[in-house]
A and B are shown apart, each in its own frame.
Chain A
Amino acid sequence: MSNDLLVLDQVRLDIPAGRDWRTLVENVSLTIAPGEAVGLVGESGSGKSMTARSVLRLAPPGARLSGRIEFDGTPVLDLGPRDLRALRTRRIAMIFQDPRAHINPVRSIGDFLTEAMVTHLSVPAREAHARAVRLLADVGIADGERRMRQHPHELSGGLLQRVMIASVLAVEPDLVLADEPTTALDVTTQSEVMAILDDLRRERGMAMLLITHDLELAAATCDRIAVMYAGRILEVQSAETLVQTPRHPYTTGLMVSRPSIDRVAHRLPVIAGRPVAAFEAGAGCAFQPRCTQAGPECLTGRPPLRELAGAHVACVRAEES
């Protein structure tokens, strides 16, 4: 599998908590091919955002990151500061959930867009400006010249997220990490922004890791989907087959608990209990306390990810459901 763009192998992330360590991500293995879009789906606290940040080594200060992360054949965890910065500047770019918090409020939109081009790519300021205006047009912002002079607080959330997408396009990376790119936006602009991101990504042949809690969104935009729970991957399948035949009880639970226009339900089915983080999980399968299919065998050890009819699933009773 040497033609994969990104390889995560047994990645684990612990953060310090007092004298102890808290595990946020455990045993995560995942690959992304060039140009491929992979969805990483899970509830809040499942470790999906931390997995994406691990790829850029953006873990919180003091955190311990182990396992193997390889980007285009280079081991990311062994990179020196200079090479790591080079990786961040040109190869991998990240889109964050809340553009209002993630764009410097006291600098103009123009500053935000041209900063990387001018600093990293040594593009002359005037050319960077022209290119930024073109990029704004690409993401559907017509009056770019005016927007360039404005500050973040003068733009709506949807517009700001488009600016964020434009800033990512500016460096033409090979991989885009999109961390809940539409969650903080109004419902009406969500699909618009997602469509722009997806189109431009395909046009430019960029791979994408889409972090989301929205299984349907992931199914609609991604080639493959990985489902995460309590810091581990429970299931990986192509988007089409996952929607038709979910193999893990948790995935099934996520699918039925979504409201749908085609279906009338008086009360949406829910997954009982609350989601746990990796360090809160007991000895057996982390999902076992909430699982309707659980049996006594689920209490002995974390089930490993195994192949089952083209899918990968981490459930000892996957065949039965």
Chain B
Amino acid sequence: MSWPLFLARRLAALVAVLLVASFLVYGLLYLVPGGPMAFLLGNRSGSPEQIAAIRHEYRLDDPFLIRYFGWLGDALRGDFGQSLVYRQDVSDLMSTRLATTGLLVLYATVIIVVAGVGLGVLGALRRGTVDAVISLVNSIFLATPTFVVGVLLVIVFALGLGWFPVFGPGAGLPDRLYHLTLPAIALSLGSAAFLARITRASVGEELRREHVETARSRGFSQSHIVRRHVLRNASIPVVTVTGLTVAGLIAGSVVVENIFALDGLGSLLVRAILQRDFAVVQGVVLVLVTAFVLINLAVDVCYSLIDPRLSPGEAT
């Protein structure tokens, strides 16, 4: 299989997932007790004119599939309709919040990769006390839900010690990063612990490989062996898990944004669900799923670059 064919296949799979996901998101609306009308109006009672306007806007008089494809076509052009609550275009609502969520996820990713890979390699190379301490801390972080970590961080570092602001996104890049530090740590701890565990296992396994013995027999120093022969070979599971966890951060950010009152996509989604603002729910979920799937695709491409045996140029 060649590179273009490989990419084409993966993209086709991606499109299939997105099609099904969008169909689910759009179609579930019709399962609501009382039908789409009840959902659209939510708890509000509408005047006949309002109802007629909604019926027109959401094309409720058309057959289902036509409405779905109409919505999908608009969505592809970046038009997700209008929010019933905000009276604004959903795409505008999302674009202003995308930066906050994106910055938060990026910040957390950096922490995860640096801390996770660093601690994992350290644990694998220094068996004994250091390793045991890292493993114990990892187990605790792994089991603690993001929102609990977040709340505890707020209590200790914001309310108790006063080192960080409690809520809000901040203004200007340095101040924003400062405001995002606690949220990013909350978001990253569990994933960093998981990555550290995977890295430790992978590096430990690679250190026992025969080709490492060859390198030893040729008189290379431990640091040379780790740099040239262990890290890259051990990086496949590490890249996989990094990709999975970063994709997972997209879901985690929903929770963290709510703790720290950050105005991102996640808090927009939760508010939209509570207010039954369904155009916003559809738009945000579609964006989140798309990001999730795209990251997974990026991970697959990374494999092939790291390990020549997995390259699509190989006939397998």
Task: Determine direct contact between A and B, CB below 8 Å.
Answer: yes
**B308, A115: Cβ atoms closer than 8 Å:** no
Do A86 and B308 contact each other (CB < 8 Å), given the known contacts A98-B210, A105-B211, A119-B224? no
> Of the 9-residue stretches A88-96, A198-206, A231-239, which lies at the interface with chain B?
A88-96
The closest CB in chain B to the CB of A177 belongs to B217
**A93, B217: Cβ atoms closer than 8 Å:** yes
**A106, B308: Cβ atoms closer than 8 Å:** yes
Q: Is A116 an interface residue (CB 8 A)?
A: yes
CA A89 – CA B218 in complex, angstroms? 5
CA A84 – CA B309 in complex, angstroms? 34
Chain A residues with CB below 8 A from B232, complex form:
106
Question: Which residues of chain A from 236 to 291 have any CB-CB distance to chain B below 8 Å in the complex?
Answer: none
Q: Is A183 an interface residue (CB 8 A)?
A: no
**A104, B211: Cβ atoms closer than 8 Å:** yes
Chain B residues with CB below 8 A from A102, complex form:
210-211, 213-214
Chain A residues with CB below 8 A from B210, complex form:
96, 98, 101-102
Q: Is B176 an interface residue (CB 8 A)?
A: no
Q: Is B215 an interface residue (CB 8 A)?
A: yes
Q: Which of B216, B217, B220, B224 has the most CB of A within 10 A?
A: B217
Chain A residues with CB below 8 A from B233, complex form:
104-106
Q: Is A306 an interface residue (CB 8 A)?
A: no
Question: Which residues of chain B from 185 to 221 have any CB-CB distance to chain A below 8 Å in the complex?
Answer: 209-211, 213-221
Question: Closest approach, in angstroms, between the C-beta of B203 and any C-beta of chain A?
Answer: 14
Q: Is B306 an interface residue (CB 8 A)?
A: yes
Q: Is B67 an interface residue (CB 8 A)?
A: no
Question: Closest approach, in angstroms, between the C-beta of A119 and any C-beta of chain B?
Answer: 7
Chain A residues with CB below 8 A from B126, complex form:
none
Question: Closest approach, in angstroms, between the C-beta of A83 and any C-beta of chain B?
Answer: 10
**B211, A58: Cβ atoms closer than 8 Å:** no
Chain A residues with CB below 8 A from B218, complex form:
88-89, 93, 115-116, 167, 171
Chain B interface category by residue count: 20 to 34
Chain A residues with CB below 8 A from B220, complex form:
85, 115-116, 119
From B219, B306, B307, contact of A85 by CB (8 A): B219
Q: Is B229 an interface residue (CB 8 A)?
A: yes
Chain B residues with CB below 8 A from A115, complex form:
218, 220, 228
Q: Is A134 an interface residue (CB 8 A)?
A: no
Q: Is A64 an interface residue (CB 8 A)?
A: no
CA A103 – CA B233 in complex, angstroms? 12
CA A102 – CA B307 in complex, angstroms? 17
Chain A residues with CB below 8 A from B219, complex form:
84-90, 116, 120
Chain A residues with CB below 8 A from B221, complex form:
85
Chain A residues with CB below 8 A from B224, complex form:
119
Question: Closest approach, in angstroms, between the C-beta of B63 and any C-beta of chain A?
Answer: 54
CA A93 – CA B216 in complex, angstroms? 11
CA A156 – CA B221 in complex, angstroms? 29
Question: Which residues of chain A from 32 to 87 have any CB-CB distance to chain B below 8 Å in the complex?
Answer: 56, 58, 84-87
Q: Which of B211, B233, B314 has the most CB of A within 10 A?
A: B211
Q: Is A151 an interface residue (CB 8 A)?
A: yes
Q: Count how many chain A residues have C-beta atoms less than 8 Å from C-beta atoms of the other chain.
A: 28
Q: Which of A84, A115, A167 has the most CB of B within 10 A?
A: A115
Question: Which residues of chain B from 214 to 266 have any CB-CB distance to chain A below 8 Å in the complex?
Answer: 214-221, 224, 228-229, 232-233
Question: Closest approach, in angstroms, between the C-beta of B181 and any C-beta of chain A?
Answer: 36
CA A310 – CA B210 in complex, angstroms? 39
CA A103 – CA B213 in complex, angstroms? 9
Q: Which of B210, B221, B233 has the most CB of A within 10 A?
A: B210
Chain B residues with CB below 8 A from A85, complex form:
219-221
**A58, B217: Cβ atoms closer than 8 Å:** yes
CA A58 – CA B220 in complex, angstroms? 13
Question: Which residues of chain A from 119 to 150 have any CB-CB distance to chain B below 8 Å in the complex?
Answer: 119-120
**B217, A153: Cβ atoms closer than 8 Å:** no
The closest CB in chain B to the CB of A179 belongs to B217
CA A89 – CA B228 in complex, angstroms? 17
CA A96 – CA B233 in complex, angstroms? 20
CA A167 – CA B220 in complex, angstroms? 14
**B213, A96: Cβ atoms closer than 8 Å:** yes
**B209, A101: Cβ atoms closer than 8 Å:** yes
CA A107 – CA B224 in complex, angstroms? 14
Question: Closest approach, in angstroms, between the C-beta of B167 and any C-beta of chain A?
Answer: 47
Chain A residues with CB below 8 A from B209, complex form:
101
Question: Closest approach, in angstroms, between the C-beta of B210 and any C-beta of chain A?
Answer: 4
**B216, A104: Cβ atoms closer than 8 Å:** no
From B216, B306, B309, B314, contact of A58 by CB (8 A): B216
Chain A residues with CB below 8 A from B228, complex form:
107, 115
**B213, A58: Cβ atoms closer than 8 Å:** yes
**B309, A101: Cβ atoms closer than 8 Å:** no
The closest CB in chain B to the CB of A105 belongs to B309
Do A151 and B217 contact each other (CB < 8 Å), given the known contacts A104-B211, A106-B232? no
Q: Which of A85, A93, A120 has the most CB of B within 10 A?
A: A85
The closest CB in chain A to the CB of B221 belongs to A85
**A56, B215: Cβ atoms closer than 8 Å:** no
CA A96 – CA B209 in complex, angstroms? 13
Question: Closest approach, in angstroms, between the C-beta of B207 and any C-beta of chain A?
Answer: 10
From A87, A103, A120, contact of B211 by CB (8 A): A103
Hey, which bits of chain A sit against chain B, CB under 8 A? 56, 58, 84-90, 93-94, 96, 98, 101-107, 115-116, 119-120, 151, 153, 167, 171
Extra contacts besides A89-B219, A101-B210, A102-B213 (9): CB < 8 Å: A56-B217, A58-B216, A85-B219, A93-B217, A103-B211, A106-B308, A116-B219, A119-B220, A151-B308
7 residue pairs, one from A and one from B, having the closest CB atoms: A88-B219, A89-B219, A101-B210, A85-B219, A94-B217, A104-B211, A151-B308
